[in-house]
Structure 1
Amino acid sequence: MDNSSNLTSLPTEEGQGEKAQTSQESQKLKHRPDLNFWKLWNISFGFFGVQIAYALQSANISRIFSTLGADPHNLSYFWILPPLAGIIVQPIVGAASDKTWTRFGRRIPYLFVGSLIAVLVMCLLPNAGSFGMVVSTAMIFGLFSLMLLDTSINMAMQPFKMMVGDMVNEKQKGLAYSIQSFLCNAGSLVGYLFPFVFTWIGISNIAPKGVVPDSVIYSFYIGAAILILCVIYTSFKVKEMPPAEYAEYHGITEKEKTEKSNMIQLLIKAPKAFWTVGLVQFFCWFAFMFMWTYTNGSVAANVFGTPAIENVVNGVSRVVLDTKSVQYQSAADWVGVLFAVQAIGSVVWAIFIPVFKNRKFIYALSLVLGGIGFISTYFIHDQYLLFASFILIGCAWAAILALPFTILTNALSGSHMGTYLGLFNGTICIPQIVAASLGGSILGIFTTKGVFPPEINMLVIAGIMLIIGAICVFLVKETKGEE
C-alpha cells in the first residue's frame, strides 16, 4: 500500500513541478511598455518614402508599358512579376531577419539594402524607352527593371510591419498600424500627384512614340531621393530590441530559440486568423490589382474621350486607345489625382478606424464602401465626380492596410513573427498573381471585335470582389497568442 501511494504521488509531484516551471516562465514574460506617439511615428516614418516609390510604380506601370506599345489584353501580364517577386522575397526576408542581429538591428539592415536597390531602379525604369532600344528590347528592359523595383520595395516594406509586431504591445498595435496606414497613404498622395504637379508647372506631359514623358521620369527621380532620406531617418531614430530583451518581452524560451522549424511546419501550425484573414485578403487584393491595371484605360475612354486607333502586332489587328494622344496622357495624369484622392480618403478613414471597438464591423463596412466606389465608376463620366468614387475606395484601402496585420500579430507569439508576416504576404501576392493571370481573358469576354476593350467593366468586377471580401470578414475569429 505504501508503495502504491508513493507511486501515485510521484506524477502529482512531477505535475506540480511542471506547473511551477510554466508559472515561472510566464512570470519571466515582461509586458512591453507603452511607447509615446513619436516613437510609434518614428518606427513607421520610413514607410512614407517607401510608399512614394510604390505609388509611382502602381500608378504609372500600365502607363509606361502602354506607352512602350503593350496591348491592353496583355497589360495584366506585366503585373504578374511584382507579386511573384513579393511572394518569394518577403518570407525569405522575414525568416532571415528573425535570425539576424547586427549593431544596426534585426530588421533595419534589410530595410536599408532594399531601399538602396529601389533608388537605383527608380532612376532606370522610366527611361526604358529613352535608350534607343527597339520595342521588344525596351519591354524586356522595363520588365526586368519592374521585377527588381518591386523586389526591392518588398524588401524595404516588410521590415516596417515586423518592427511594429516586435516593439509595440497589443494595446497600441491598432494605433501603430493606423499611423503606418496614415504615412502609407500620405506617401501615396505625394507619389500619385507628382506627374500632375510637374505637368502643371510646365514639364512636358507628352513624348515621342515609345518614350515616357519627362513629367513621369522626373517624378521617379524625386521619389527616389525622398525614399532614401526617409529610410535614413528611421534607421537613425529607431533602436530595435537586443535579442535577450526581445525574448523576455515575447516570452521566447531557450527551447524555442534553438527549435528549427521550416516554413511548411509553421504554416501547419499557423493560427486560424492567418487563414480566415487570408481569405478576406484574397478578394481585396484581387480587386486592387484590377484597379492598378485598368484605371488608366477606364478613365481615358470613359471620361476623357481618348480616340481609338487600329494597332497591328505580329499580323494581328486590334483596336486600342491612342497612347500618344493628349487625351490619354491627360487621363493618365488625372488617374494620379484620383489615386491621390483615394489616399486622402484613406488617411481620414484611418483616423476613425481605431475608434471602433468592433474591428470586424469596421473592416466589413470599409470593404462594402470600397465596393460601392468601384461599381460607381461605371456610371460616372465627369472627372470631378470620380472623386466621390475614389474616396469610398480609400475607405477600403485604409482598412486593408491596418486591420489584417493588427488581427494577425495579436494572434501570434513572438518567436516567428517575421517569418509569419513574410508568409502572410502570400495572401497579398497570390490574389494579385491570379488577377493578373486572368485579367486579359476576362477582358476578352467583354471585348467586341472592332471596338476597344471596355476596361471599365474590370473596375465593376473589382467592386464585386470587395463586397464578397466583406462577407468573408465575418468568418474571422480574433485570438491572442494562438501560435
Structure 2
Amino acid sequence: MNINSLKPRLSFWQLWNMSFGFFGIQFGFALQNANTSRIFATLGASPDDLPLFWLAAPVTGLLVQPVIGYLSDNTWHPTWGRRRPFFFLGAIFAALALFLMPNSAAVWMAVAVLWMMDAAINVSMEPFRAFVGDKLDASQQTAGYAMQTFFIGCGAVIASLLPTIFSEWLGVSNVPVDGSIPDTVRYSFYIGALVFLAAVSWTVFTADELPPPDMERFRAQKKEARNFGVALREIVGGFAQMPKTMVQLAFVQFFTWIALFALWIYTGTAIADNVYGTTDAQSAAYQEAGNMVGIMFAVYNGVSALAAFILPILARATSRKACHAVCLGLGGLSLASLFFITDKGLLMLPMIGVGIAWASILTMPYAILAGALPANRMGYYMGLFNFFVVIPQIVSGLLLGFFTKHLFGGHAVQTLVLGGACMLLAAVLTLAVTDKANAAASAVRH
C-alpha cells in the first residue's frame, strides 16, 4: 500500500500551524547569525579567530541531528506524537541559551553558550524537516517546505532588525560599556527567547501527527532501537545506504554552506572595513556597521519570505533542480558583488539575490530529498543530510581564518568573494542531481 494514499491533503491553515514553529526557530538563528561575531569581537576576540569560535555550532549539529532524527523516528506517544516532544524540549533549552548569550562576560563563556544554543536549536529544528515528510504527500511537500521558508524569512527579518529598532526607535544604547554587550543586543536576545518558546509551542499544541501505519511493526522496531548496539549500527551504517539523490545533493550542500558560513561570519567585519573604514570593535562606527548588517540580513530574509511562494510555481514550470541552480547562481554573484560596494546606500541590492538563493536553499534540497527517502527513516536521513551542512562549516571554520589573514591581507570582503564563487559552483553541481519526484511526474505526463 502506498503510504502517501493514507495522508490527507492539508488546508492552508493546517500548513500554517505545522510550520509556525519555524518562525521562532529562525528568530533564534537570525539573532545568532547576525550578532554572534559582534559579541565575540566586543568581548575581545580577534577577527582571525572568529571561524574557530563558530566551530561550536556545526560540530554540535554534526553530533546532534542524526541522533535526534533516529530517536524521533522511533518515538510515538498518543498525545505528543513523534516529532513534537523534540520540538518542545529543544525550545526550552534554546530559550535559556538565548537569555544567557548576551550576558557572557568573556569569550569562552560566549563560545560555551553558543554550543548550548546550537544544540538546543538543532533538537527543535531537525524533526521539523521530517515533520513535512511525515504529514504531507508528495504533491504538497514542496508547499510544506515553502511555508517553512516563509516563516524562516519572517522570523529572521524581525530578529535581524531588533538591535536597530531598539537603537533608532527606542533610544536604547548601542555602545558597549567597559567591554560589555550593548543593551540593544541584550534586549534583542531576551525577546528572542520568548518568541522562540512561544512559536514552537504553537505548533506543538495546534498540529497533530499521523500514527505509524503499522503499529505492531513500529513497536518491534522501537524495541530494537532501544538496544545501544543496534542504534549505533543503524546510525553509522546509514552512510553506506544513502540514496543516490542524497549523495548528489551532498556536494551541492557542501559548497552552498561554505558560502553561507562566510556570509554569516564575515559580513560584519567586511562591511565595517570596506564601507565604514574601521576594524575597531569598540568604536561607534563598528557597532553602527553591526546594525547595518542586521538590516542587510533582514532584507535578504524578507526577500526569502516572499520568494518562498514563488519558487514552487517556478519549480513546476521548469524543474526543482533547474530552479535551485538559477537561484544559487544569482546568490553567488550577489555575494561576490559586495567587494565592489563602498557606499552603504547600495548594500541592500546584493541582499535581494542572496535572499532568493536562501529561499531556495531552505526549500528545494529538502523537497527533492523527501521524495527519495524511505518513510520509516525520514527523520534519520534528514538528520544525516545535515552532515553536509555542518561539515562545510567545520572546513570553513578551520580554513577561512587562514585565508582571510594570509591570502586576503585581513580584508574579510575578499572572503565573501570566495563564498560567492563556492555558491556558483554549487549551482553547476545542482544540474547533475536526480529528482525522482520530478522524473516520475514527467513520465506520467508523457
Native 8 Å contact 1:256 1:415 kept in 2:
no
d(CA) in 1 for partners of 2:351, 2:3: 49
1:31 positional shift: 3.6
How far is the alpha carbon of 1:263 from its aligned partner?
A: 2.1
2:152 is equivalent to residue 184 of structure 1 = yes
How far apart, in 1, do the equivalents of 2:3 and 2:273 lie?
A: 63
Equivalent position SS for 2:69:
helix
Rounded Cα–Cα distance in structure 2 between residues aligned with 1:413 and 1:232? 28
The separation in 1 between residues aligned to 2:235 and 2:80, in whole angstroms, is 26
| Match in the other structure for 1:72 | 47
> Which segments of 5 or more consecutive residues in structure 2 lack a partner in the other structure?
225-229, 440-446
> Which of 240, 252, 262 does residue 209 from structure 2 map onto?
240
Pair 1:203 & 2:151 matched: no
Richer in helix (by share): 2
Separation of aligned partners in 2, 1:459 and 1:187: 24
Letter in 2 for 1:279: F
- Are the equivalent residues in 1 in contact too, given 2:74–2:222 (CA < 8 A)? no
Q: Give the match for residue 64 of structure 2.
A: 89
Q: Give the direction of change, closer, same or farther, for the CA distance of 1:459–1:411 in structure 2 (3 Å limit).
A: same
Answer with 258-267 or 215-224: which moved more.
258-267
TM-aligned CA deviation for residue 344 of structure 1: 1.5
Structure 2 counterpart of 1:347? 305
Aligned counterpart in structure 2 of residue 300 of structure 1, from 255, 258, 272: 272
Q: CA deviation at 1:27?
A: 6.8
Aligned equivalents of 2:62 and 2:219: distance in 1?
A: 30
Look up the SS of the partner of 1:286 in the other structure.
Answer: helix
Match of 1:118 in 2: 94
Match of 2:195 among 226, 244, 252: 226
Q: What is the rounded CA distance, in whole Å, between the counterparts of 2:141 and 2:73 in structure 1?
A: 19
The answer as to whether partners of 1:412 and 1:481 remain within 8 angstroms in 2 is no
Equivalent in the alignment of 1:286: 258
Paired residues for 1:47-58 under 5 Å: 47-58=22-33
1:142-167 CA-partner distances (Å, limit 9, x unpaired): 11111000100111111211110100
Give the equivalent residue in structure 2 for 1:217.
186
Conservation of the 8 A alpha-carbon contact between 2:268 and 2:289 = yes
Q: Which amino acid aligns with 2:348?
A: F
Kindly indicate whether residue 144 of structure 2 is the aligned counterpart of residue 172 of structure 1. Answer: no
Answer yes or no: is 1:375 the counterpart of 2:312: no
Structure 2 distance, partners of 1:217, 1:179, is: 30
One-letter amino acid of the counterpart of residue 330, structure 1: E
Runs of 4+ in 1 over 4 A off after TM superposition: 252-261
Per-residue CA deviations over 1:16-75 (Å, capped at 9, x if unaligned) read xxxxxxxxxx37874422111111111110110111001000110100000001111111
Structure 2 vs 1, CA of residues 86 and 253 (structure 1 numbering), >3 Å: closer, same or farther? closer
Letter in 2 for 1:288: L
Q: Tell me by how many angstroms 1:384 deviates.
A: 2.2
Distance 1:478 1:221, change over 3 A: same
Question: Secondary structure in 1 aligned to 2:309?
Answer: helix
Q: Report SS of the residue matched to 1:415.
A: helix
Q: Is the 8 A contact 1:410 1:481 kept in 2?
A: no
Q: 1:338 — aligned with what?
A: 296
Q: Using the alignment, how far apart are the partners of 2:282 and 2:268 within structure 1?
A: 14
Query: Alpha-carbon deviation of 1:481?
Result: 12
Conservation of the 8 A alpha-carbon contact between 1:366 and 1:396: yes
State the percentage of identical aligned residues: 39
* One-letter code aligned to 1:34: R
Question: 1:346: how far off?
Answer: 1.1
Q: Which of the residues 421, 429, 438 maps onto 1:464?
A: 421
Between the aligned partners of 2:426 and 2:3, the Cα distance in structure 1 is: 40
Aligned pairs (5 A) from 1:18-167: 26=1, 30-102=5-77, 103-129=79-105, 138-167=106-135
Alpha-carbon distance in 1 for matches of 2:325, 2:438: 24
Secondary structure, counterpart of 1:384 in structure 2: helix
- CA distance 1:167–1:29, shift in 2 (3 Å): closer
Contact 2:175 2:182 in 1 (8 A): yes
Return the offset for 1:256.
7.0
Please report how far the alpha carbon of residue 373 of structure 1 lies from its aligned counterpart in structure 2 after TM superposition. 0.6
Counterparts of 1:176 and 1:364, CA distance in 2: 20
Say if 1:330 and 1:264 are closer, same or farther in 2 by CA, change over 3 A: same
**Preserved CA contact (<8 Å) 2:250 2:385:** yes
* TM-aligned CA deviation for residue 209 of structure 1: 3.7
CA shift digits 1:244-289 (9 cap, x unpaired): x4x49xxx88987777661233222221111101110000101000
- Structure 1 unaligned spans of 5+: 1-25, 130-137, 307-320
The whole-number CA distance in structure 2 between the counterparts of 1:79 and 1:39 is: 36
Aligned to 1:309: none
What's the counterpart of residue 227 of structure 2?
Answer: none
Matches within 5 A, 1:420-435: 420-435=381-396
1:444 paired residue among 405, 409, 413: 405
Per the TM alignment, residue 350 of structure 1 is displaced from its structure 2 partner at its CA by 1.7
Amino acid at match of 2:299: V
Q: How many residues align?
A: 427
* Cα contact 1:277–1:476 (8 A) shared by 2: yes
Q: Is the 8 A contact 1:67 1:209 kept in 2?
A: no
Deviations, residues 213-233 of structure 1 (Å, cap 9, x unaligned): 000000000111111111111
- On the 8 A contact 1:371/1:467 being kept in 2, the answer is yes
| 2:360 corresponds to 1:399 | yes
Q: Deviations over 1:398-438 (max 9, x none)?
A: 11000011011111121111111111110111111111110
SS in 1 for 2:351: helix
Cα contact 1:68–1:209 (8 A) shared by 2: no
Output the aligned Cα RMSD.
2.0
